């Protein structure tokens, strides 16, 4: 079964970004290593602080749009409901990957 992920990234200043992907590990790697130009590269957003998965791409896209429409306070509450210390959930994912 295919999985689709809605995720939130942040930085030291707690700027927030909401995204959707079908490969969370690859997508966080791309953000972390600034492989794609855009908002996350400009603001150095590389800490994964929230994610959820679904088996339906339409559900993932709808959820991403829903969260993007929320106030900052509601997004923070979502993060803190499962990750109150804002720990980087992807910490250690890439320790065995050699830098290029």
pLDDT digits (tens, 9 = 90+) for 24-55: 999 999 999 999 899 999 999 999 999 999 99
Do the beta carbons of residue 48 and residue 88 sit within 8 Å?
yes
The residue segments making up the domain with residue 57 are 4-82
Residue 42 in any domain: the answer is: yes
Identify the CATH number of the domain in which residue 35 sits: 3.40.1440.10
Q: Which of 48, 46, 49 shows the shortest CA–CA distance to 82?
A: 49
Per-residue pLDDT at 99 exceeds 60:
no
Residue 87 in any domain: the answer is: no
pLDDT on residue 37: 94
Per-residue pLDDT at 70 exceeds 80:
yes
What residues does 20 pair with on adjacent strands? 6
> What is d(CA 32, CA 21) in angstroms, rounded to the nearest whole number?
15
Domain count, the chain: 1
- Mention every residue, 6+ apart, whose C-beta is less than 8 A from residue 94: 29, 32
At 2, the pLDDT band (50, 70, 90 cuts) reads very high
Residue 74 in any domain: the answer is: yes
């Amino acid at each position: 079964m295919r999985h689709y992920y809605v995720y939130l990234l942040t930085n030291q200043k707690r700027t927030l970004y909401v995204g959707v992907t079908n490969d969370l590990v690859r997508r966080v790697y791309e953000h972390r290593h600034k492989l794609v130009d855009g908002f996350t590269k400009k603001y150095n957003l590389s800490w994964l602080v929230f994610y959820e998965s679904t088996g339906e791409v339409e559900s993932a896209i709808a959820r991403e749009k829903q969260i993007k429409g929320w106030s900052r306070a509601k997004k923070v509450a979502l993060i803190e409901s499962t990750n109150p210390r804002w720990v980087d959930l992807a910490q250690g994912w890439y320790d065995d990957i050699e830098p290029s």
